[in-house]
């Protein structure tokens, strides 16, 4: 592909790429849902937000959780798009990525590498695309299929010492090239970690399997969403009882208990939109991890704002 054709191709791809990203988390939508005003978000993102304000973030139309509908087609489009994108990037840009990648790796040790990094970004499809179109939601995005677990790994690696943490957050997306053999990426279809050099083959097989899979009779949800609770009206011991019932920890002050219960219910209900919801113990684990993480953030060392 060259010349005009190439730029039309890139321009269209950029549009599609942007459309498939969630306007709240800027990731490719994960278990998408559609609102009655026809805006799409990750199920978890919009459910969380509706606890802040019952309106669509994009058009401000009044929206409640009960208005959300799953959007399986969009989920499927995203999976296929990511597969396509991954392959075409490998083909067209592997050379540049490899060279830039190596330079970036050396720079991790330079004192001012944040500055360095922004000037020599990995030219992945998105960034090349991004140059043309000004748009708030078209930031360069990772080619690694998303997954909560995976996200955090990507962010905190490859730095080894604490003072290198910040720069490392801006390190190249496709760190896999550094030691390709050990690098695992999560398959967007079956969520299993697969060595990066096998992911394409695995994805092919996985998508084949997915396509031939006998669809369940209807899209009957396997789990029913939990009913809405008015936490502010519940006594401490009732909240504790609920937490215990769900298998969650019951210690902490009132605010902690409320947040914990609410977090779990939102996550549980978002999970109900998935074709294959994760196990309850995984959900509990994720809630506990998020709570610990937020506790760390809430004690910023040098912030004296408000």
Interface residue list for Zn ion (CB under 5 A): 22, 24-25, 37, 39, 42, 45, 56, 58-59, 61, 187, 189-190, 206
Which among 21-29, 72-80, 99-107, 185-193 is the span making contact with other proteins, rule CB under 8 A? 21-29
- Out of 16, 169, 192, 238, which residue is the one contacting other proteins (CB under 8 A)? 169
25 binds other proteins (CB under 8 A): yes
Start-to-end C-alpha separation, the chain: 54
State the minimum distance, in angstroms, from the CB of residue 80 to Zn ion.
13
State the minimum distance, in angstroms, from the CB of residue 297 to other proteins.
4
4 binds other proteins (CB under 8 A): no
48 binds other proteins (CB under 8 A): yes
What would the two tokens of residue 262 be?
């609410």
Query: Measured in whole angstroms, how far is the alpha carbon of residue 171 from the centre of its chain?
Result: 18
**Residue 306: which of other proteins, Zn ion, none does it interact with, CB under 5 to 8 A by kind?**
other proteins
118 binds other proteins (CB under 8 A): yes
State the minimum distance, in angstroms, from the CB of residue 1 to other proteins.
26
- Out of 73, 98, 166, 238, which residue is the one contacting other proteins (CB under 8 A)? 166
Which among 49-57, 73-81, 220-228, 240-248 is the span making contact with other proteins, rule CB under 8 A? 49-57
Give the footprint of other proteins on this chain (CB under 8 A): 23-27, 45, 48-49, 52-53, 55, 57-58, 60, 118, 121, 136, 139-142, 151-152, 155-156, 162, 165-166, 169-170, 293-294, 296-298, 300-303, 305-306
């Amino acid at each position: 592909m060259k010349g005009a054709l190439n730029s039309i191709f890139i321009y269209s791809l950029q549009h599609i790429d942007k459309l498939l990203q969630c306007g709240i988390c800027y990731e490719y939508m994960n278990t998408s849902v559609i609102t009655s005003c026809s805006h799409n978000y990750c199920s978890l993102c919009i459910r969380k937000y509706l606890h802040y304000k019952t309106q669509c973030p994009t058009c401000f139309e009044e929206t409640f959780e009960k208005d959300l509908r799953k959007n399986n087609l969009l989920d499927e489009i995203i999976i296929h798009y990511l597969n396509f994108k991954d392959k075409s990037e490998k083909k067209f840009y592997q050379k540049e990525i490899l060279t830039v990648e190596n330079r970036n790796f050396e720079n991790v040790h330079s004192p001012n590498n944040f500055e360095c990094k922004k000037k020599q970004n990995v030219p992945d499809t998105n960034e090349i695309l991004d140059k043309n179109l000004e748009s708030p939601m078209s930031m360069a995005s990772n080619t690694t299929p998303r997954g909560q677990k995976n996200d955090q790994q990507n962010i905190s690696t490859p730095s080894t010492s604490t003072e290198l943490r910040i720069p490392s957050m801006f390190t190249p997306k496709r760190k896999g090239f550094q030691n390709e053999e050990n690098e695992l990426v999560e398959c967007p279809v079956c969520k299993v970690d697969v060595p990066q050099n096998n992911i394409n083959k695995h994805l092919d097989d996985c998508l084949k399997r997915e396509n031939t899979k006998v669809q369940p009779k209807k899209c009957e949800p396997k789990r029913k969403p939990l009913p809405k609770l008015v936490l502010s009206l519940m006594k401490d011991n009732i909240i504790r009882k609920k937490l215990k019932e769900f298998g969650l920890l019951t210690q902490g002050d009132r605010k902690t208990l409320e947040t914990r219960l609410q977090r779990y219910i939102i996550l549980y209900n978002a999970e109900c939109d998935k074709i294959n919801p994760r196990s309850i113990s995984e959900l509990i684990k994720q809630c506990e991890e998020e709570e610990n993480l937020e506790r760390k953030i809430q004690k910023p060392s040098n912030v004296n704002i408000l």
